[in-house]
Amino acid sequence: MPCSAALRWLTRLLPAPAPAALPWRERMRSCFGALLGIAFTGAVTHVLSGPGANIPMLVAPMGASAVLLFAVPASPLAQPWSIIGGNVVSATLGVACASWIHDPLQAAAVAVAAAICAMFALRCVHPPSGAVALTAVLGGPTVHALGYRFVLAPIALQSVALLGSAIVYHALTGHRYPHTARTAGSINSTNGANASHFAPDARAAFTRADLDAVLSSRTEWLDVAPDDLEALLRALQLQTYARSFDELTCADIMSRNMISVGATMPASTAAQMLQRHGVKALPVTDLTQQVIGIVTRADLGGSERRGGFVRLWHSMTRGRSRSEPTVATLMTAQVRTVRTDTPLAELVPLFAEHGHHHIPVLNHETGQLAGTVTQADVIAGLYRRPNHRAEQAQSPVADRRAA
């Protein structure tokens, strides 16, 4: 049995990631750019250092840097400060560890860990820089003989040469690099529209087909899986939508004519109340109107039908109704509650993501049951919010007219 579970776990690792949404023309452009970049870097090192120089013409981490610079230029890990800062800092720490720690294994481990820590602190994380730190420790006598000169040549020299070739190549082929932060105005002009023309309430939800269409139209590979990107965008869309309704609170939308039950009430009676009032859940309160649980139709099940038989049986036997369950035995004690001053924006994720249908609302001062909020109440609140904003926008005009 453990072997089969392990086999199933291993099979989940075999499928390849989602294919890159890039046309073959762009893939070949990336390959040709890497070819030119590595060739140019090696040539620059050879020319500037001379044929008899005792430095490597190319270090292996430059191959990994070329993958990022030419195949994934939109990644934050491939930006100029990432490659220059990451490689130089990692080379410096690698040489220091090789000089101070005699055990190569310990020196290599400390060098990589220190390089990652420094890159995080300096905001220049570049994965190939971890290999630069290892090269400084395990590069052999040639690298060790260079000492701290290894930081300047070959590391800094080859990093600058490879970066320069990437900047020129992307410019000649019509691609934006480096990917510096753009302002909202530049993004709007690029998209051919002004985002201020679209109110938040008018933005339509996107579909996976829309996302795939946009990704397929790009000429650069984003360093994120489409599924993760979709989840991120949907969470952002929900957060933005919820934030636009943050002025309403639970007190504005909750149902105040709340029916509650006691913990000692027979389950059949509670089921009859659910049926009579057409609700799906009832808060359970104590004598001070503090919420101690919630009971739903699913919790009660067939208590209403069973209750009639139980009462008939005990009326015939003149016994006390000891076998009929009470609300306390069926209710859910861990109940999610909100306060009357809770913003509507906080309710949207509770219903949209956590599957709640009925949430008791407590008075924010006394903690007593004040009402309940349902999905229908939230929808009504979302409908009221644009009208509320319109009334606020018109109120100054009305005030001026009255004056």
pLDDT tens digits, 21-38: 678 888 899 999 999 999
Q: What does the radius of gyration of the chain's CA atoms come to, in whole angstroms?
A: 33
Sign of torsion, CA 308 312 318 319?
negative
Is residue 83 over pLDDT 80? yes
Give pLDDT tens digits for 330-378: 888 888 889 988 887 777 777 776 667 778 999 988 889 998 888 888 7
Overall average pLDDT of the 139-151 stretch: 93
Q: Could you tell me which of 267, 289, 287 has the C-alpha nearest to residue 368? A: 289
Give pLDDT tens digits for 38-57: 999 999 998 988 766 778 88
Give me the chain's average pLDDT, please: 79
Is residue 166 over pLDDT 50? yes
Determine whether domain 250-389 maps to CATH 3.10.580.10.
yes
Is residue 187 over pLDDT 50? no
The residues that bridge with 282 in the sheet, in sequence order, are: 295
Q: What is the pTM of this model?
A: 0.58
Give CATH 3.10.580.10 domain extents, the chain: 250-389
Share of the chain above pLDDT 90, in %: 34
pLDDT of residue 21: 62
pLDDT of residue 58: 92
State residue 343 phi and psi, 5-degree precision. Answer: -65, 150
Q: Could you tell me which of 382, 329, 334 has the C-alpha nearest to residue 354? A: 334
Give pLDDT tens digits for 213-267: 877 777 666 667 677 777 778 777 777 766 666 567 888 888 887 788 998 898 8
Report the distance separating Cα 53 and Cα 55, nearest Å.
6
